[in-house]
Structure 1
Amino acid sequence: MAIIALVVYSWSSQNSGQEAMTINQVADEIKRGQIAKIVQDETRLRITKTDGTQNTSNMDANASMVEQFLQLGVTADQLSPAAIQLEIKPPSPWLNVMTFASYVLPFLILAGAFFFIFRQAQGSNNAAMSFGKSRARMFAGDQPTVTFADVAGVEESKEELREVVEFLREPQKFIALGARIPKGVLLVGPPGTGKTLLAKAVSGEAGVPFFSISGSEFVEMFVGVGASRVRDLFDQAKRHSPCIIFVDEIDAVGRQRGAGLGGSHDEREQTLNQMLVEMDGFDTDTNIIIMAATNRPDILDPALLRPGRFDRRVVLDRPDVRGREAILKVHVKGKPLEPNVDLASIARSTPGFVGADIENLVNEAAILAARRNKKVITQEEFEESIERVIAGPERKSRLISAEEKRIIAYHEAGHAVVMNALPEADPVQKITIVSRGMAGGYTLSRPAEDRILMSRKKLIAEMISLLGGRAAEELVFDDITSGASNDIERVTQMARTMVTRLGMSDEMGPMVYGQKEELIFLGREISEQRDYSEAVAQKIDAQVRALVSEAHQQAKALLTQYRAELDGVAELLLEKETITREEFEAVFPTPQPKHSGTPVMLAGNN
């Protein structure tokens, strides 16, 4: 502020509305009676003439204003109050401050610049010295934010981890019997199943220090830094023993050695080697439990998974219907729900969903209720949020012609009629020709219960259902469109899997054809090793083509048989755009009892 004031003062003292007068010019104007008022401010004179114009001038600081005018020939009468008004302002107290600041401030600025430079250099030295230090975050565990009560749908996994908690609370009970608690626990499961959340719950239940770090935080571009950070992490853990070390996404550092690029001095391999030594080296008398999470256990180094390191593998699979209902109950806590919301029905409608998907579903339902200015979340919001999570938001603004709308209606009606006619297919839940995501319309089915095993009849029924849309286009319009592209892709992949992987072809027999190959350091399948001849390849292609062709013919036969129902469903779709299960069955009652199975959303006109 002082610098700004100094600059403003200097600028204002050097600039005025017009060119300043000399002291001699001011004296001549006084003699001619042209000056009405003079105000002295230090050595600066502000002059007001008789015609109202103003100007400025500067005077000598060694003499007074009156003395200088008298020396220049101005008489005392011309300086009398009757002739001219003279005003002398007292010296400003800020003048000395400004003068002092103009001398001192440059030195202060220079000193501050040197201090900042030295401080930065010192911080760089500290950062260089701490480059090999662990970046793990420690949580005390005395005030847990997550416990086992906050984790649902993984009851078996929680039961296994209770042993870890009990050992950390009462280690002497196990030591007295000569028992050795597993040193490492590997949490394995698809993304979103709650591996990190379960590790936090173990920390909250045990009430011990909890070190959390990601596998990627070990590896740097400089060789040896990762190994140094591993050593520092375990040194910190030993000082706070008993404790838990949690390494999230351990596959970033624990991939198989010798499978990547670089030699024995590869940074990632050195980091892994140091971790192996720390987990089961000479110094093993420590109450430290290492927990790690990954969704790719197949690419981890075998030395990392052997007994003595990661002894126990806890699998977190996709939850079943009861698990999904329990997860729903956890996520709806604190949210206002309408009394008639049926969480069991929502759980049945979300097979294959993991914990993260269900959390997103509940959040989407809350957002929809807020956008509709509702005070509570209703069943309608939950059902719509399921479709938003699966297929995306509705695209009602998408403009399509009447002819295309009719094609989409018959396409989706074809899916629904075929599914309803097949006893092995899942019951139709909803049909719509309102666009969502990339789909022009879709048919949603919901199984009565979850299914782990897929029978051949079930897979064939799903293939026929997928081809129902294309068959309806051929039957009604005597033409085909690109709307069935995704259906055809899925059917082809399903048929090839049945022949080459599941042994569901009578001619090819119960054999697996082709071995998948992948690069470990990429974690991606890059090729398939053909362990069969060209003649066998031709037979495989013929079997795949036969399965797809047979499914297509059966779809056309069913739609020909139920042509009246197909027309009725399509006309209802054109009228209402979206029809429910009850409205669909009013047009086409189920011919026979339906079997349950894995759900499927048949998207048309992609």
Structure 2
Amino acid sequence: GGGHDEREQTLNQLLVEMDGFTGNESVIVIAATNRRDILDPALLRPGRFDRQIVVGYPDVKGREEILQVHAKNKPLGPDVDIKRIARTTRGFTGADLENVLNEAALLAARNNRSAIIEADIEEATLKVIAGPEKKSRIVTARDNFITAYHEAGHAVASYNLKTQEKVHQVTIIQRGMAAGMTIYRPDTDDRTVSRTKMREEIISLLGGRCAEELFTDDISTGASNDIERATSTARKMVTKYGFSKKIGTVVYGSDNDEVFLGKDYGHTKNYSEAVAAQIDEEVRAIIDKAYSECLEILKAHADKMHILAKYLLKYEKIDGDDFDKLMKNELVVDVSDIPDEIPPYEKVETQGSENN
């Protein structure tokens, strides 16, 4: 937000050392930042930091090589495939990949194994993404029922959308702040995202809320993060990517306005209130259309919804291969002991003192 903080002092010192008037040419200045948007333009003028190297997230080849470095001193079992791990960890940084192998080694040691197996890698990956499983927390039968149908809604909706990634695991065991999770396995490292894929991503995100509406007697707060992400994606489609025919191929708003004055104080809106109302209408239209399409998908596959939700209530999780078989009617499971109706609210009995 301004003032004489470390940023200005470092800038002044660098400019003094890089003025070019001294005869010493043996000093090379190397600097790194993850906030290039707030750098003073004076630093990037010709004669100063001439060579700029962008270090982004590693691609699949880079992830494989990073994993090989961190796996050198760790015994790996015969079922561990470094290439497969690299394919399923898109978006991981080098530190994340190191953490995965370290966590896997700890899991193997705790289970008195002499080598890391595939199950250790799987659990370590989920632990890095969302935190450890919280099996000790007592969850009511009603909450479990809602979570099972919520996560089943995400999984079944994604399975029936052409552009969405494959389901890697569905679980109703709490991790971090999430009551359950539907985890996907990316098949490619595509950097560009099409309009169709973004629209179907919104449909998938709304799968949990749609499932609650269709298969439980109420809707819950569990979909708050899904709705937030869906709304953010829809707004970017309209204001950033030019995906709206009504609004046009124009960018509305900017994330880089006057950063030295502070994010809130320096942000200026470069469109009128009339356009703002149109943007809101378009965002609402995208969300409403996606919601209705998601409801139709889940209604058409209600039988799969019931089987998957009951499977989760019985076994707490299902991996990608079994999920795929379940969707194709290739996996037979006995869930006749799981109730069809949502359990009632559980009343907590409290013992008070008697008044004499």
Please state which band the TM-score falls in when normalised by the shorter chain.
0.7 to 0.9
The size of the alignment, in residue pairs, is 329
Q: Letter of the 1:260 partner, please give it.
A: G
Matched, 1:495 2:237: no
Matched, 1:559 2:301: no
Superposition map of 1:210-289 within 5 A: 260-261=2-3, 269=8, 272-289=11-28
Q: 1:401 to 1:277 in 2, by over 3 A?
A: closer
Distance in structure 1 (CA, Å) of the matches to 2:165 and 2:18: 50
Q: Runs of 5+ in structure 2 lacking a partner?
A: 330-356
Distance in structure 2 (CA, Å) of the matches to 1:459 and 1:516: 21
Q: 1:517 to 1:321 in 2, by over 3 A?
A: closer
2:167 aligns with 428
* Cα contact 1:565–1:588 (8 A) shared by 2: yes
Distance in structure 2 (CA, Å) of the matches to 1:271 and 1:588: 58
Matched, 1:467 2:226: no
SS of corresponding position for 1:431: strand
SS of corresponding position for 1:504: coil
1:458 aligns with 197
Question: Which of 252, 259, 270 is the aligned partner of 1:531?
Answer: 270
SS of corresponding position for 1:515: coil
Question: Which of 344, 355, 379 is the aligned partner of 2:83?
Answer: 344
Could you give the per-residue CA deviations for residues 140-174 of structure 1, whole angstroms, max 9, x where no partner exists? xxxxxxxxxxxxxxxxxxxxxxxxxxxxxxxxxxx
* Cα contact 1:516–1:529 (8 A) shared by 2: no
* Cα contact 1:517–1:525 (8 A) shared by 2: no
Distance in structure 1 (CA, Å) of the matches to 2:9 and 2:180: 53
Q: CA deviation at 1:447?
A: 1.6
Q: Letter of the 1:295 partner, please give it.
A: N
SS of corresponding position for 1:430: strand
SS of corresponding position for 1:293: coil
Distance in structure 2 (CA, Å) of the matches to 1:410 and 1:400: 15
1:335 aligns with 74
SS of corresponding position for 1:530: coil
1:41 aligns with none
Q: CA deviation at 1:280?
A: 3.2
Q: Letter of the 2:155 partner, please give it.
A: A
Q: Which is richer in strand?
A: 1
Q: CA deviation at 1:525?
A: 5.7
Q: 1:276 to 1:405 in 2, by over 3 A?
A: same
User: Normalization by structure 1: what TM-score?
Assistant: 0.52
Distance in structure 2 (CA, Å) of the matches to 1:379 and 1:522: 50
Matched, 1:540 2:279: yes
Q: Letter of the 1:559 partner, please give it.
A: L
Q: Letter of the 2:144 partner, please give it.
A: K
2:93 aligns with 354
Q: 1:389 to 1:270 in 2, by over 3 A?
A: closer
Q: Runs of 5+ in structure 1 lacking a partner?
A: 1-258, 591-606
Distance in structure 2 (CA, Å) of the matches to 1:523 and 1:305: 21
Distance in structure 1 (CA, Å) of the matches to 2:96 and 2:127: 11
Task: Identify the structure with bigger relative contact order (alpha carbons < 8 Å, sequence gap 6+).
Answer: 2
Matched, 1:389 2:131: no
SS of corresponding position for 2:255: strand
Distance in structure 1 (CA, Å) of the matches to 2:227 and 2:267: 22
Could you tell me the percent identity over the aligned residues? 52
Q: 1:270 to 1:543 in 2, by over 3 A?
A: closer
* Cα contact 1:516–1:527 (8 A) shared by 2: no
Q: Letter of the 1:477 partner, please give it.
A: T
Q: Letter of the 1:316 partner, please give it.
A: V
Bigger CA radius of gyration: 1
Q: CA deviation at 1:449?
A: 1.0
Q: CA deviation at 1:471?
A: 0.5
Q: CA deviation at 1:387?
A: 0.5
Distance in structure 1 (CA, Å) of the matches to 2:105 and 2:136: 23
Q: CA RMSD in A?
A: 2.0
Q: CA deviation at 1:503?
A: 0.8
* Cα contact 1:260–1:520 (8 A) shared by 2: no
Question: Which of 146, 167, 176 is the aligned partner of 1:437?
Answer: 176
SS of corresponding position for 2:32: strand
Distance in structure 1 (CA, Å) of the matches to 2:80 and 2:34: 34
Distance in structure 2 (CA, Å) of the matches to 1:589 and 1:522: 57
SS of corresponding position for 1:312: coil
SS of corresponding position for 1:429: strand
